[in-house]
């Protein structure tokens, strides 16, 4: 039996119009049918739109709408309900329509967001998808507002491709579900080779770009082979490392979006694919109850593109084509946000090298980001903390790059502090006793306008310094002639030279081509081994004798952002009930992932341990906090959050540590672990608990 796949994300602008939509083909058809039954006449394509315009010239009484206009008309009612409750202590977050469709509400800065999904979607998956969209927006455009001008076609394709890959694989890939990265357990010889290669890359990049701070990551599909940081480079946030890997593995999906023609002013993405009967996996999650049941399986109509293994090229001559550079924004240990130029060097169909170069003026980026966020927050809540804004503004204007930008734009180099002083003069005058309430109100509105103007000027500076240009792409030798630049978006009053991006997917950087040849000459003999190792990183053989009855485990180290889990591989001699080994693997995988969704939901509601059993297995989940010296820390109260457990956009585990131990000065010394075990049902619960206690230290052993 085949069911529809209804899922969609809609982002609305200030006037309740749709500025971005990401929806499945089934949901689009469903909404279109709903609108037509209510009497709407919709434009299906450009040809129909032209014909309708001709008809409208003859019949002015007939009104035709685009699908985006119809969505704006109907969902704007829900947006108004959200806005009316947003100031409450417990604003509306979720409703269920009469049709059974779930509607989730959220915000992206000043934009309202609605997510629609049918009941077969687990709530955890929906909330994680919303958080992922927020994190991807910051990852690709920094602090810029999420509008069509800022997000050109290339960037929106990257955001949507990553989101699509996440949805396709969240119920089949445990590292994606737990928002962590899996590191390959390599032998000492290959590790030493990878270290030497990364050192060589670091030296060559230093000679080309003259920058001291670099990050080099060798990946194989969705796993990390090796990561190297230069001596003075701070480690990126675990969430951003996860996004880097996701951005790389979803690269092949970008072609699905590039082939779509956008017929409106909306950043528009629809997805459709044929149902594949070869592989039993469905691309979207089912509920845990359905996953645990033994009844007949219900296959979901798969209306989203299926991810295939990255096949960048099939011949050696095409390997010379290196992926274009990208600018991404990462959070590091000492900066709230920092711009990086990302060079992606494909070595094989599965292995790639990611070279990230931190910009020299990354401190300016972090300062501008903090100032813009605070200005927007103060404007929204009507605050004017002059003493807090003054040092921030002075720090931003002390940058030579910011002063040059303001002078080039025709503004005084101290325009921000000048506007702030004007606002402060109004604020002081409003505190006088002889000022009427009407004057205070007018002064307050003028102060808000001043703060808004400061935010606009700061945002323009951020866009010019870190979004519209990439100095390191030019230093690497990429051809940046005018013929390679095209405007991705056109808006009223904005010329084609105001925003420029390279449309071609590949660059012509001599640096990256030379690096690829050097890397290949050093690691080529190990390519096949690395690719095989990524398919079977670790197995249960290492603990089969020590932990009898243990079928599977998942270990997540939140302090390092890594996940350790054996590959689900069933040997042929286990096919005792006339099942193929692939069917058994899918059967076990389905049960494990269903339990993982259950335990994440339990953790969200305050349960740090969770156990359940069915007719085959006993499942156990435990979250543990411990000090750096290995001493276990007590969890003494419930921690309930509306946000899902994860690290993307909202670090659930950091918030958990802050809640339990707010008095600790160095909360980074608290280490958070998660352990999931699956035992055969015949194993007594006492033995399960004993084995879990013995498994912790075994998994905490150093890799080398």
pLDDT tens-digit readout, 116-165: 998 888 999 999 999 999 999 999 999 888 876 666 667 888 999 999 99
Handedness of CA 672, 678, 679, 681 (dihedral sign): positive
Least confident range from 53-57, 341-345, 544-548, 580-584: namely: 53-57
Determine the pLDDT at residue 148: 66
Rounded to whole angstroms, the Cα distance separating 287 from 290 reads: 5
Residues 430 and 568 in one domain: no
* pLDDT above 70: residue 290: no
Q: What is the pLDDT of residue 149?
A: 65
Q: Is the pLDDT of residue 322 over 60?
A: no
Whether residue 367 has pLDDT greater than 80? yes
Q: Classify residue 260: in a domain, yes or no.
A: no
Report the candidate in 266, 362, 321 with the shortest Cα–Cα distance to residue 11.
Answer: 266
Please spell the DSSP secondary structure of 477-529, one letter per residue. Answer: T----GGGEE-S---TT--TTSS-EE-SSEE--HHHHHHHHHHHHHHGGGHHH
The chain-wide mean pLDDT, for the chain, equals: 79
CA–CA distance, 277 with 235 (Å, rounded to integer): 43
pLDDT at 293: 34
pLDDT digits (tens, 9 = 90+) for 105-124: 998 888 889 999 988 889 99
Give a yes or no: residue 202 inside a domain. no
Distance of CA 350 to the CA centre of its chain: 21
**Region 245-262 average pLDDT:** 80
What are the E-state strand segments in 239-330? 267-271, 299-300, 322-323, 326-330
Cβ-proximal residues to 268 (8 Å cutoff; 6+ apart), any chain: 20, 21, 68, 260, 262
CA–chain centroid gap for 653, Å, is: 17
- The answer to whether residue 194 sits within a structural domain is no
Note the pTM of the prediction, 2 decimals: 0.85
Q: Residue length, the chain?
A: 704
The closest of 336, 328, 334, 269 to 303, measured between CA atoms, is: 269
573, burial (CB in 10 Å: exposed 0-12, middle 13-18, buried 19+):
exposed
Indicate if 554 and 690 belong to the same structural domain: yes
Q: How confident is the model at residue 331 (pLDDT cuts 50, 70, 90)?
A: very high
pLDDT at 344: 92
In this prediction, residues 249-258 reach a mean pLDDT of 83
| 293 and 375 belong to one structural domain | no
Residue 386, number of CB atoms within 10 A of its CB = 13
Across 212-221, 273-282, 358-367, 569-578, least confident range: 273-282
Give the model's confidence band at 84: pLDDT under 50 very low, under 70 low, under 90 confident, else very high: confident
Looking at mean pLDDT, say which of 82-86, 156-160, 216-220 comes out highest: 216-220
- Give yes or no: residues 584 and 689 share one domain: yes
Selected residue with higher pLDDT from 126 and 323: 126
Domain end point (choices 249, 283, 300) = 300
pLDDT above 50: residue 285: no
Q: Looking at the predicted structure, is the pLDDT value of residue 70 above 50?
A: yes
Classify residue 232 by its DSSP letter: T
Same domain, 551 and 652: yes
Residue 260 — very low, low, confident or very high, per pLDDT cuts 50/70/90?
low
Our count of domains for the chain comes to 3
Span 236-245, mean pLDDT? 95
Residue 555 has pLDDT above 60, yes or no: yes
Q: Is 606 a residue whose pLDDT tops 50?
A: yes
Q: Are residues 542 and 444 in the same domain?
A: no
Report the CATH number that the domain containing residue 69 is assigned in CATH: 3.30.450
- pLDDT average, residue stretch 578-599: 75
**In this structure, is residue 598 part of a structural domain?**
yes
pLDDT of residue 340: 94
Last residue of one domain, picked from the residues 440, 466, 492: 466
Quote the percentage of the chain above a pLDDT of 90.
Answer: 39
The mean-pLDDT minimum among 42-56, 260-274, 459-473 falls in 260-274
Q: Is residue 429 domain-shared with residue 544, that is, in the same domain?
A: no
CA 104, 109, 112 angle in degrees (round to 5)? 35
Could you give the CA distance from residue 448 to residue 291 in angstroms, rounded to a whole number?
Answer: 53
SS3 326: strand
Domain annotation covers residue 312 = no
Domain shared by 443 and 549, yes or no:
no
**pLDDT at position 72, please?**
81
Which of the residue ranges 390-404, 427-441, 573-587, 588-602 would you say has the lowest mean pLDDT?
573-587
pLDDT band at 498 (very low <50, low <70, confident <90, very high): very low
Query: What average pLDDT does the segment 675-689 reach?
Result: 91
| Confidence check: pLDDT of 505 > 70 | no
Better-scored residue on pLDDT, 628 or 525 = 525
- Quick one: pLDDT at residue 569? 60
Handedness of CA 464, 467, 469, 475 (dihedral sign): positive
Q: Given 281, 300, 319, which residue is the final one in a domain? A: 300
With respect to residue 628, please indicate whether it lies within any of the assigned structural domains: yes
Rounded Cα distance, 79 and 111, in Å: 10
- H/E stretch holding 690 reads helix 685-699
Q: Which domain holds residue 549?
A: 538-699
Looking at the fold, whether 558 and 667 belong to one and the same domain comes out as: yes
Residues 579 and 671 in one domain: yes
543 and 687, same domain (yes or no): yes
Q: Is residue 333 part of a domain?
A: no
**Pair 572, 650 in one domain:** yes
Q: What is the pLDDT of residue 445?
A: 92
Between 109 and 406, name the one with better pLDDT.
406
Residue 181 has what DSSP assignment? B
């Amino acid at each position: 039996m085949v069911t529809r796949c209804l899922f969609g994300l809609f982002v609305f602008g200030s006037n309740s119009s749709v500025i971005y939509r990401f929806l499945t083909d089934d949901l689009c058809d469903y909404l279109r049918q709903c609108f037509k039954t209510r009497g709407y006449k919709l434009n299906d394509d450009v040809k129909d739109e032209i014909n309708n315009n001709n008809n409208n010239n003859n019949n002015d009484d007939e009104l035709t709408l685009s699908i985006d206009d119809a969505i704006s008309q109907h969902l704007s009612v829900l947006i108004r309900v959200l806005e009316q409750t947003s100031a409450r202590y417990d604003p509306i977050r979720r409703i269920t329509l009469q049709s059974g469709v779930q509607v989730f509400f959220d915000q992206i800065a000043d934009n309202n967001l609605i997510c629609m999904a049918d009941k077969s979607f687990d709530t955890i998956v929906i909330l994680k998808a919303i958080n992922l969209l927020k994190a991807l927006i910051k990852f690709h455009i920094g602090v810029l507002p999420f509008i069509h001008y800022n997000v050109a076609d290339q960037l929106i394709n990257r955001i949507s491709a990553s989101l699509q890959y996440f949805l396709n694989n969240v119920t089949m890939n445990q590292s994606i579900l737990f928002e962590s990265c899996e590191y390959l357990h390599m032998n000492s010889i290959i590790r030493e080779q990878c270290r030497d290669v990364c050192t060589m890359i670091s030296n060559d990049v230093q000679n080309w770009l003259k920058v001291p701070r670099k990050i080099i990551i060798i990946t194989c599909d969705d796993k990390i082979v090796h990561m190297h940081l230069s001596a003075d480079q701070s480690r990126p946030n675990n969430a951003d490392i996860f996004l880097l890997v996701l951005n790389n593995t979803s690269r092949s999906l970008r072609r699905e979006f590039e082939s779509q023609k956008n017929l409106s002013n909306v950043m528009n993405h629809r997805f459709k694919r044929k149902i594949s009967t070869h592989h039993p996996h469905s691309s979207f999650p089912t509920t845990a109850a359905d996953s645990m049941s033994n009844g007949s399986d219900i296959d979901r109509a798969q209306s989203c593109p299926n991810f295939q293994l990255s096949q960048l090229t099939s011949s050696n001559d095409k390997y010379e084509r290196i992926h274009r550079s990208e600018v991404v924004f990462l959070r590091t240990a000492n900066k709230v946000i920092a711009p990086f130029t990302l060079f992606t060097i494909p070595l094989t169909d599965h292995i790639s090298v990611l070279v990230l170069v931190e910009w020299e003026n990354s401190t300016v980026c972090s300062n501008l980001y903090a100032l813009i966020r605070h200005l927007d927050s103060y404007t929204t809540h009507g605050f004017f903390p002059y003493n807090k804004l003054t040092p921030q503004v002075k720090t931003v204007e002390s940058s030579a790059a910011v002063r040059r930008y303001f002078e080039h734009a025709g503004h005084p180099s101290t325009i921000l502090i000048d506007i702030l002083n004007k606002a402060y003069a109004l604020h002081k005058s409003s505190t006088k006793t002889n000022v009427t309430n009407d004057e205070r109100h007018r002064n307050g509105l003028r102060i808000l306008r001043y703060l808004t103007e400061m935010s606009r000027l700061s945002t323009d500076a951020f866009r010019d310094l870190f979004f519209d240009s990439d100095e390191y792409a030019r230093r690497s030798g990429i051809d940046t002639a005018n013929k390679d630049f095209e405007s991705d978006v056109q808006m009223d009053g904005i010329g084609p030279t105001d925003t420029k991006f390279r449309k071609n997917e590949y660059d012509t950087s001599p640096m990256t081509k030379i690096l690829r040849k050097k890397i290949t000459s050093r690691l080529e003999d190990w390519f096949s081994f690395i690719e095989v190792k990524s398919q079977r990183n670790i197995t249960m053989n290492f603990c089969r004798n020590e932990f009898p009855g243990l079928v599977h485990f998942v270990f997540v180290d939140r302090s390092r952002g890594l996940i350790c889990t054996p590959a689900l591989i069933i040997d042929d001699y286990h096919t005792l009930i006339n099942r193929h080994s692939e069917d058994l693997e899918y059967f076990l995988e389905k049960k494990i992932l269903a339990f993982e969704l259950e335990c994440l939901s339990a953790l969200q509601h305050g349960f740090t341990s969770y156990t359940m059993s069915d007719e085959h297995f006993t499942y156990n989940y435990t979250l543990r906090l411990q000090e750096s010296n290995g001493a276990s820390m007590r969890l003494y109260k419930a921690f309930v959050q509306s946000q899902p457990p994860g690290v993307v956009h909202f670090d659930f585990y950091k918030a958990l540590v802050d809640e339990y131990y707010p008095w600790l000065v160095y909360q980074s010394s608290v280490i958070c672990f998660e352990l999931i075990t699956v035992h055969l049902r015949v194993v007594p619960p006492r033995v399960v608990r004993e084995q879990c206690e013995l498994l912790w230290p075994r998994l905490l052993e150093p890799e080398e």
